[in-house]
Structure formats: structure tokens, C-alpha cells
């Protein structure tokens, strides 16, 4: 929001003013190594978890399958309602958005 | 794509549970099979993607924040968005995306190998499958270096054209009237069954409900950061209403016609006892080829279907790498190409290594991991809806007060 400028009727100018002001700049937490530009810690954490997952699955294929199947069944058996209710909420949410457009209040 | 034949036929023949326990093989079952397939591929998955797509589009383009999932939580997290809560959300999104992509690449390679075996008697061995992953990954790497406009766009256009040719061919050479009527039947059945199928209270059809619907929902949700960010990027500059038309209605209608064509022909063959499908689903990845086999020029169409599957996996790998790269670069877009190549390569390596080391079981573990990540991500998505409402309300108020003064 630019407080110094007088308010204007020109909608295209208003569109360019953002409701949220953050001093965060994309990539400011990044580190540059090997000619790459990577977010610290998201890149390193994700890569570490992926490599760990693949290594463990290869070392202990049977227990890896059993563990993840169990966690999958647990999620599906106990949280089936959450997935379903969430799915329905998202459909209604979008229907609501589409019917009222962006520049009207949410109710 | 393979599922467009296998899924309706599977529901109709009670391969693994029937929707709402509809007795198999009846006229009611045929209608329900189409409605339920449509339910799984219709408004719900696209609504899941649209939540992520719209939120990202609003917070990154209208509010000038980085193109990464955490930006959508700014109204709630404020400055903490750039700290650990935000890191956690982004890591979750990266894991869901890479696990989902690598799983489908692995299973896709098995399907394509199954198809090649069916067509050309190429042995369906682990070596064939790994060769397919290798080819897909190499083409994806080549395409990823060209960026969104050069690579992905060209490939998606090829993909759409091939799919259209295949669909028109099946429409013309198959039972044309059955397919045309099928569009109406599907829409009616979809409307009739959407409420009972999306209800989560007191379900009796556990095999179908847990094995298909909830599984699909978890799977779509684990794909949502990827598809959502991708559609946010390609729909920049559209209004919310245009966005909803393009993301919800158009794909749902295209899916209806696709389902009527492929699913409709599959069911028709089962009902009339034509070909392999009449014996029920033995190998879901072969269902499409078994359907095409009983139409003219099956050699050409099956080959086209295999190419289509390969191009589909190349585009997924390619656009998926763009998305993961954006998240792991803190939302920066103009980063070195080497990073996208890294992710495309890693995805291929994960799929190949797991297939080689543990076969379908290891891929199953990977898929189960993706589903597991889907659970916390469901909560992330629900909060995202509220965050977006807060953001849109605030923007509305600001514009309104400015226009008034």
C-alpha cells in the first residue's frame, strides 16, 4: 500500500498495489553452491529426506514396504472423513469463488 | 488414461469392490460404474488443484510474494512464513511432489513395458522398464532446459493432439451412438451419485470407499502442489472466474467425453462378451490395449497409446521439475538450468533404483509414502482456503475504500 500517493479512480493503478507488504525477497535465504541457487534449508532437508528414504527402502525392502503400507492404511482408515470432507469443502469453496468473482466479499 | 477403461470395467465387474455396493453386472452397475469413475476424475480433483492454483496465483502475482507454497500462508503466519513453519510446508510439498512423480513414472514404465510386450513381444523385463525410464528422463531433461515456453508447451500440445486423434478414432470406429449417448448417461449418473459418493458418514462399501475414493483423494492431494503451481504459472493474468472455468469446468467436461469414449467402449465390450475384457480385469495396465484390440487398426492405435503414455510422463517429469525447482529455490524463477536438470534426473533415478532394487513392492512403498504425506497436506490445504479468503477480503476492502474516496 502506497500511503504517499493520493487515492485514484484508475482501477489499473490500484491493481498494482499489493495488500500485503513483506520485505522478504524471493531467494534471499538462498545459498549459491556448484553454480546453483538453492533455498537453505528447504533444498537440503528435502534432498536429505529423499535420499534417506530411497536408501532405507533399498536396504530393508520388506520392512520399508510394511512400514509405509501401515502408515498409509492408518491414514486412510482413521482420516477417511478428513479427506472426504476436505474434498467436498474444496469443491464448494471453488464454486463459491467462481460465482462471486474476486472483487466481492466472501459472503 | 489407462484407467479410463480399467476403472469403469473394474467397478462393473466387481474387480475390487463396487460403488455403494451396487450389484455387479446389472444395468444399474454399468451406470454407477461410469458415474463413480467420473466422480473420481471430475470436479473434486480439479477443485483440489484449483485451491492451490488460485492461492498461489493470488499471493505470488497479486501480492508479489515468491512462487512457493508457503507464500499462501502469509495472512496467518506473517513474518514466520519465511521461517520454520514456512520451511516445513515447503518441504512437505517437495516430498509429496517428488514421491508422487517418481511413483507414477515407475508404474508408468511398467505399464508402457506391458504395452510394448502386448504389441511387439518385447520381453517385459526390468531392463525394458529401466530403459523406458531412461528415455523418458533424457527427453524430459532436454525439454526442461528449454523452459516452460519451449519444452513443456510443445510437449503438451503434442500430447493433446495425439489424445484427440486417438479419441476421435475410437469414437468413429467404435459404437458411435453408444458413446454419444454415454456422455449424457455419465453426466446424469454423476449428478445422481455425487452426493452419496462424497458422503463420509456410515459408508457400507468399505472396499470401494477406502480402496478407491479415499485413496484417490489422498493421491490427488499429494499431487496438488505440483499441478496447482503449474496451473498458477500458466494462468497468470486471468480473472478468478476465467480461472475457474479453465480449471474446473473444461477439464471435467473433457474428462466426461473421454470417459464416455474409452470407458463406454470398454463396458460395451464386457456386456457383449467381446475380447479379453469380458473376462474381467486381469492386468489393469492392459485394459486399454485389450479394448483397442477389438477395434480396427489396433496395431497403430495401441502404438499411439504407448507414445501418448510416454509423452504424458515426459511432460509430468518436466513440469514437475520446474515446480520442485521453484520451491527449493525459495520461489525464485530465474535460477540456473542445472537445478531443474537435477530434479528431473533425481526423479528418474528414484524410480529406476527402486524398481531395480525392489520391483513393484518398492514402488508401492514410495506410493504409500506419498499417500502418507497427503494427510498433513490435506490440513495444509484446508488452512490455505481460509488464508486465501482472508487475503481476498483484505484486497477487496482496500480496493473498495480507494474507489470510494
Range of the domain at A42: 9-59
Number of domains within chain A = 1
CB proximity B403 to A under 8 Å: yes
Q: Are B269 and B277 in contact (CB under 8 A)?
A: yes
Dihedrals φ, ψ of B43, to 5°? Answer: -65, -40
Structural domain includes residue A25: yes
Check CB contact under 8 Å for B210 and A54.
no
pLDDT digits (tens, 9 = 90+) for B337-396: 888 899 999 999 999 998 888 888 888 889 999 999 999 999 999 999 999 989 888 887
Dihedrals φ, ψ of B377, to 5°? Answer: -70, -25
Q: What is the pTM of this model?
A: 0.90
Structural domain includes residue A14: yes
pLDDT of residue A17: 58
Measure the CA angle with vertex B243, ends B72 and B100; round to 5°.
60
Structural domain includes residue A102: no
ipTM over 0.90 threshold: no
Check CB contact under 8 Å for A37 and B405.
no
Check CB contact under 8 Å for B95 and A50.
yes
The answer on pLDDT for A104 being more than 70 is no
Residues 6+ apart with CB under 8 A from B181: none
Structural domain includes residue A48: yes
CB proximity A69 to B under 8 Å: yes
Structural domain includes residue A3: no
Check CB contact under 8 Å for B382 and A89.
yes
| Run of H or E including B100 | helix B84-120
CB proximity A49 to B under 8 Å: yes
pLDDT digits (tens, 9 = 90+) for B107-146: 888 888 888 888 888 888 889 999 999 999 999 999 888 8
CB proximity A60 to B under 8 Å: no
Q: Which of B20, B372, B379 to mutate to test the interface with A (most CBs of A within 10 A)?
A: B372
Check CB contact under 8 Å for A43 and B372.
no
Structural domain includes residue A100: no
Check CB contact under 8 Å for B64 and A18.
yes
Cα-Cα-Cα-Cα dihedral of A66, A71, A73, A79, to 10°?
180
The answer on pLDDT for A86 being more than 90 is yes
Structural domain includes residue A77: no
Structural domain includes residue A28: yes
Check CB contact under 8 Å for A61 and B362.
yes
pLDDT mean over B289-315: 89
Provide, as residue numbers in chain B, all residues whose Cβ is less than 8 Å from the Cβ of A33.
Answer: none
Average model confidence (pLDDT) across chain B: 89
Amino acid at each position: 500500500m502506497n500511503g504517499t500517493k493520493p487515492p485514484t479512480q484508475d482501477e489499473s493503478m490500484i491493481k498494482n498495489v499489493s495488500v500485503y507488504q513483506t520485505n522478504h525477497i524471493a531467494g534471499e535465504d538462498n545459498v549459491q553452491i556448484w553454480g546453483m541457487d538453492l533455498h537453505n534449508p528447504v533444498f537440503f532437508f528435502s534432498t536429505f529426506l529423499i535420499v534417506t528414504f530411497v536408501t532405507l527402502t533399498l536396504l530393508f525392502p520388506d520392512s520399508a514396504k510394511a512400514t509405509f503400507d501401515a502408515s498409509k492404511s492408518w491414514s486412510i482408515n482413521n482420516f477417511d472423513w478428513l479427506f472426504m470432507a476436505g474434498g467436498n469443502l474444496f469443491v464448494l469453496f471453488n464454486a463459491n469463488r467462481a460465482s462471486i468473482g474476486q472483487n466481492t466479499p466472501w459472503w | 488414461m489407462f484407467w479410463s477403461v480399467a476403472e469403469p470395467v473394474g467397478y462393473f465387474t466387481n474387480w475390487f469392490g463396487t460403488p455403494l455396493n451396487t450389484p455387479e453386472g446389472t444395468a444399474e452397475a454399468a451406470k454407477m460404474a461410469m458415474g463413480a469413475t467420473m466422480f473420481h476424475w471430475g470436479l473434486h480433483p480439479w477443485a483440489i488443484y484449483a485451491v492451490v492454483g488460485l492461492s498461489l496465483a493470488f499471493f505470488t502475482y497479486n501480492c508479489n510474494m515468491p512462487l512457493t507454497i508457503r507464500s499462501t500462508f502469509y495472512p496467518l503466519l506473517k513474518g514466520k512464513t519465511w521461517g520454520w513453519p514456512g520451511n516445513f510446508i515447503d518441504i512437505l510439498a517437495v516430498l509429496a511432489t517428488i514421491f508422487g512423480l517418481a511413483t507414477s513414472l515407475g508404474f508408468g514404465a511398467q505399464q508402457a513395458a506391458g504395452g510394448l510386450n502386448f504389441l511387439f513381444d518385447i520381453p517385459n523385463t526390468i531392463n525394458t522398464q529401466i530403459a523406458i525410464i531412461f528415455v523418458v528422463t533424457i527427453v524430459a531433461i532436454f525439454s526442461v532446459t528449454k523452459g516452460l515456453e519451449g519444452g513443456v508447451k510443445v510437449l503438451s500440445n503434442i500430447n493433446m493432439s495425439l489424445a484427440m486423434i486417438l479419441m476421435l478414432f475410437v469414437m468413429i470406429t467404435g459404437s458411435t451412438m453408444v458413446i454419444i449417448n454415454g456422455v449424457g448417461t455419465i453426466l446424469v449418473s454423476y449428478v445422481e451419485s455425487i452426493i452419496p459418493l462424497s458422503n463420509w458418514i456410515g459408508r457400507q462399501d468399505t472396499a470401494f470407499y477406502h480402496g478407491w475414493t479415499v485413496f484417490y483423494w489422498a493421491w490427488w492431494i499429494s499431487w496438488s502442489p505440483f499441478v496447482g503451481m503449474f496451473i498458477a504459472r500458466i494462468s497468470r493474468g486471468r480473472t478468478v472466474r476465467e480461472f475457474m472455468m479453465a480449471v474446473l469446468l473444461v477439464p471435467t467436461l473433457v474428462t466426461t467425453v473421454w470417459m464416455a469414449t474409452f470407458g463406454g467402449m470398454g463396458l460395451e465390450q464386457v456386456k457383449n462378451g467381446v475380447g479379453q475384457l469380458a473376462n474381467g480385469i486381469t492386468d489393469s495396465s492392459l485394459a486399454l490395449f485389450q479394448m483397442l484390440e477389438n477395434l480396427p487398426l489396433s496395431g497403430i492405435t495401441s502404438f499411439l497409446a504407448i507414445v501418448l503414455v510416454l509423452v504424458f510422463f515426459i511432460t509430468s517429469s518436466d513440469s514437475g521439475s520446474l515446480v520442485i525447482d521453484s520451491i527449493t529455490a525459495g520461489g525464485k524463477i530465474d535460477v540456473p538450468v542445472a537445478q531443474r536438470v537435477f530434479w528431473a534426473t533425481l526423479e528418474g533415478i528414484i524410480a529406476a533404483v527402486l524398481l531395480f532394487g525392489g520391483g513393484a513392492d518398492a514402488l508401492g512403498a514410495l506410493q504409500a509414502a506419498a499417500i502418507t504425506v497427503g494427510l498433513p497436506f490435506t490440513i495444509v490445504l484446508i488452512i490455505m482456503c481460509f488464508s486465501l479468503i482472508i487475503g481476498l477480503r483484505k484486497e477487496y476492502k482496500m480496493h473498495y475504500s480507494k474507489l470510494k474516496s
